[in-house]
Structure 1
């Protein structure tokens, strides 16, 4: 089951990123900064960013690919009524995939944007 992220939910315009930066609730840890807005005009959009301080284009793109994959695998457990912007931090450059994945899941739980799993539903693990 190879599920891709739909292009229509990925943020691509500067206006979208700036709106999130200005109006979001921010949660962070050592590896990721998560900006979240609930019920806004960009509902169920997701963006990925890595600043130039993290390294060259290859390094930044690698981090964004990791963040995209982590979001893709965990999207089934995230509510649709929010817009998320994930920004990689310096510690993520040397961290492995599992560490960043645990960091993401911790931030999602802390933000309270996980879907409630009903008793009869099977939880899909990645």
Structure 2
């Protein structure tokens, strides 16, 4: 019985080590840095600063929500990401989607995630408030 318990414990630890994302594939730092209105609020260019391991690549999904009266303007967008190991700006255009509501100057919630791949893939997420400017 003791041998079976030990074997199962070692198997579980080995499996956990294999399934954990490697440091080479994980984004180490993400910060939402700016948001700029495009075409009178039909879209917003959202910029994040990301630091991820050199050689990793993939894409970033951007989601933006902002109160517009008693409703919420909503949009999403995408941008490719090529990592070089140093902080870099990545900008994605977020298009308004919610029944014609547009974005305006002011505070919004920016969130999203990545698909970063290098010897396997990782899917880190980010979220933060940002002030939309013109």
The reply to whether TM is greater than 0.5 is no
Give the alignment's TM-score, normalised by structure 1: 0.29
Give the alignment's TM-score, normalised by structure 2: 0.28
- If you compute each CA radius of gyration, which structure gives the higher value, 1 or 2? 2
* Greater fraction of residues in strand: 2
